[in-house]
Structure 1
Amino acid sequence: MKALCAGLLLLGSIHAYADYIHLPYAKGWTDNFDNISFSASFAPSRDLPIGSVLQTVKIQNQITYSATCSVTKTITVDGTPVPSMTGTYQTNVPGIGVQFYVTSGWGGSPNPLIQAPSSETLAPSSSGGQPIFYTRADLVVTGPVGNGTLTTLPSMAIQYSGGCLNDPNSPSTSPHSLALNPGTVITGQTCSVTTPSLNVTLLPISADGFATVGSTKGSAPVNLGLNCSKAGINVNIALTDASDGSNRSTTLGLAPGSSAAGVGLQILNGTKPVAFGPDSAVAGNLNQWLVGKSSVGMMSIPLTVRYIRTAGALTLGTVKGTATFTMSYQ
């Protein structure tokens, strides 16, 4: 009887550990991953391109497993998705989001990482050791970057399920969570405009010598002013025709109140006429151009305005044009 009982106990022991998943291996069966910490502070430019990665943090873990059945690996994220950015989740700081990644398949060094959320079906297999298993989080730009301290952050969970993973003594089906430590300070770098509205007066000109389309006359300087708190920010600008938002030419059309015809205005950056674009601060906006890098304190953007002859009969009268400028700090 004693021998028989020992045999039964031995069989029970073998059954308890026949199918299991132990992740992270250095911890217990149901423990979570160590939290990921981003750097203490970031000072990105306000209008960095959407999708820019401020920091990537990858943690190496190990996994052991033995499964005689197909196993489903489900990766979920507890957070609010960012619209139009797959796999990206909001934080409490405007313009800052998080993406999560994990090792694909069972594990192992050559396996690529896949972005959460996702689900995989894994074939029956046994680790035969402790393969590498990575978890990763990226801090990414989702829009104009604001200011604040990261306190509300998404989290990720990995869970395995399968008919052979049903032993209560080794609860391999419990979820394993990956959390982010709060406290990172975000300071969106920007400049303030010191000349939000400008009036430019051009001297009157005569119609003599102004018959050829494309010919130019007269000029007046205009300076846009900025005050920047940080050096090295890429300062970009886009000009928009306020009377015709679809204008993409280098000629500013006549605004209401004009009595002249056959004439328009040009705005020059140096000697080059500036093309007009949409009223947007998004990086890469059409006809947006780089002014240069900021310096700490006051900064001036010198421009020139002049008349240009356009098609059609030339009618004498007043010439009025209105343009807006949109700054983008990248």
Structure 2
Amino acid sequence: MGNDTQRSDLLSLMRLFVRVAFSSCIGMLSLSAHAALTCTTAGANNVINAGSISVPANPTVGATIATLAPTHLQMLCKMDSSAPVETTATLGAYFYAESAHPVAGFTDVFPTNVQSVGIRYRFNAPACNASNVPMYDWDVLLTCPVSGEVGGPYVPIDVTVITSLVVTANGPIPLGVRELTTVPLVGIAYETSDTPGSSWPQSPLYTGAASGRIVHACAINQPDASVTLPTVNSSAFSGGVGSVAGPQSFSLVFSCGSGAQVSIVLTDNTDPSNRSNVLTPTADSTAKGIGIQILNDKGAPVSFGPDSSEPFTINQWVIGRSPNGRLEVPLTARYIRTGNVVAGAIRALATFTMSYQ
């Protein structure tokens, strides 16, 4: 028990030392030539590759707009033959955002070159008892026990890093297409329990370079579009199942920036799994045998799909190139007979999701 307490105190002192050293100059950190535990890194010098990311039309602060492919790193350690001879030790691995502080209002989101878009890092290393650990304030420490025979092979410690892009302000995320080019350089430094007060840098986890397109083509002018259909007599559906009546035009209106192809998908809010072209009436509807359809600008019934901004989402359709200004998407709602008609009130709800390429 006493050794565990001493080791905990030792690592705390080492953590304090490395914080002070990092704040001044990473080049001043010393490298012990006589450590019994020696470690190196495989899989460093990564570049963030975000691809093409669609920002929601009206994003909320703190919303994750994309989770990127994980980064896999290995810390390789072995017990060498230098004195003192040991078969167990502890690696302290520091990952730190060089010359970067969290965005105002956040403790774990760091700035990128794109206005109001930040990046978050989460670290997973089972051998270090680390699960989804954030880079908090400006760094994160992974404490990893290592054991092995003296002069034996390197023991791999696997680290998986999950990065995500986060909305950091109410606005404005600029409309249009922005190139992601810069994120914080994330450095790595090691120190070991058998060499207190000494630490040494590794190649960086992330170089600070990035690639990708942040597409925020449009913002919604009206968050909720309510459409009231006219009252019709049940005799309007005398033609049988499939008869339609009471069309009512409406529009979705956006403010856009040029540079992207805009697509949209409508989702049945009452039954998100619905892939037909008839909305499911809400539970408080009293009419029976009647549904509601939405028609696109060509007069064709819209089939519903999942709430997804991914390209080629089922039943997503292309609106066209985003203008530099107002974009209006004309639609029409109407009744359609689906069975035996019972007079009453009917209500249905749909949501829409934009996608930009």
Q: Match of 2:55?
A: 46
Q: Does 1:174 align with 2:198?
A: yes
* Rounded Cα–Cα distance in structure 2 between residues aligned with 1:74 and 1:214: 72
Q: Does 1:141 align with 2:194?
A: no
Calculate the TM-score normalised by the size of structure 1. 0.51
Question: Which of 257, 269, 279 matches 1:229?
Answer: 257
Compare the two structures and name the one with the higher strand fraction. 2
**Quick one: structure 1 residues 323 and 135, their matched pair in 2 at CA, closer, same or farther if it must change by over 3 Å?**
closer
* Rounded Cα–Cα distance in structure 2 between residues aligned with 1:95 and 1:45: 15
Question: Which of 251, 257, 267 matches 2:294?
Answer: 267
Q: Match of 1:121?
A: 146
Q: Which amino acid aligns with 1:90?
A: D
Question: Which of 80, 85, 94 matches 1:66?
Answer: 80
Q: Does 1:239 align with 2:267?
A: yes
* Rounded Cα–Cα distance in structure 1 between residues aligned with 2:214 and 2:289: 45
Q: Match of 1:96?
A: 119
How many Å apart are 1:231 and its aligned residue?
Answer: 2.4
Largest Rg, 1 or 2: 1
* Rounded Cα–Cα distance in structure 2 between residues aligned with 1:230 and 1:118: 49
| Contact 1:98-1:137 within 8 A present in 2 as well | no
Calculate the TM-score normalised by the size of structure 2. 0.48
Q: Secondary structure at the match of 2:110?
A: coil
Q: Which amino acid aligns with 1:46?
A: V
| Contact 2:91-2:144 within 8 A present in 1 as well | yes
Q: Which amino acid aligns with 2:110?
A: N
Identity among equivalent pairs (%):
17
Q: Does 1:305 align with 2:333?
A: yes
| Contact 1:79-1:155 within 8 A present in 2 as well | yes
* Rounded Cα–Cα distance in structure 2 between residues aligned with 1:289 and 1:49: 22
Q: Which amino acid aligns with 1:158?
A: Y
| Contact 2:80-2:152 within 8 A present in 1 as well | yes
1:237-278 residue CA offsets vs partner (Å, 9 max, x unmatched): 44354xxx456443242697x77543221224563543376x
Q: Match of 1:215?
A: 242
How many Å apart are 1:217 and its aligned residue?
Answer: 0.6
Q: Which amino acid aligns with 2:252?
A: L
| Contact 1:210-1:216 within 8 A present in 2 as well | yes
Aligned Cα root-mean-square deviation (Å): 5.8
Question: Which 5+ residue runs of structure 1 have no aligned equivalent?
Answer: 1-15, 26-34, 81-88, 105-115, 166-170
* Rounded Cα–Cα distance in structure 1 between residues aligned with 2:301 and 2:65: 26
Q: Does 1:159 align with 2:194?
A: no
- The farther-off stretch of 209-218 and 143-152 is 143-152
Aligned residues: 266
Q: Does 1:314 align with 2:342?
A: yes
**Quick one: structure 1 residues 238 and 74, their matched pair in 2 at CA, closer, same or farther if it must change by over 3 Å?**
farther
Q: Which amino acid aligns with 1:174?
A: S
Q: Secondary structure at the match of 1:253?
A: coil
How many Å apart are 1:184 and its aligned residue?
Answer: 8.2
